[in-house]
Amino acid sequence: MKDFGYTVIKQRTIDYDLFDGRLLNEVLQMEPSFKVCLSCGGCTATCSANDLVSFNVRRMNLLLRRGETVELESEIRKCMLCGKCMLVCPRGINIRNVIMLIKKGIQKYNPVKS
């Protein structure tokens, strides 16, 4: 392989042959408004849970799209579903439904043993 001078960090590589997109597809199909997320971070700035513990709603999007379900599962549990994020979202994304869909989808596709 030609060396462009970049390093590839193994842990951050997504192998699309092994990528399980079921959770992502289900969430986007059931809540299409999530597709228009700008990653502006307004949700995280206002988040009540983020006031108590490191919790980043915007990062959910990234973890979901990268298929990092294990980390997503441990993060998503922090949400208290208070709904402030929805009220500040400039795109009117139904974030609470996204959270519930991810929680349910993780149970369905990748049940994490607790």
- Chain residues binding other proteins by CB under 8 A are 30, 33, 46, 48, 51-53, 77-84, 87-88, 92, 94, 96-97, 100, 103-104, 106-107
Bin 5: left if φ > 0, else alpha if -120 < ψ < 50, else beta.
left
Give the amino acid at 86.
M
What minimum distance in Å lies between the beta carbon of 4 and other proteins?
A: 42
What minimum distance in Å lies between the beta carbon of 53 and other proteins?
A: 4
> Which DSSP symbol is given to 12?
G
CB-wise, 14 or 82, nearer to other proteins? 82
Q: How far apart are CA 114 and CA 92, in angstroms?
A: 33
What minimum distance in Å lies between the beta carbon of 68 and other proteins?
A: 18
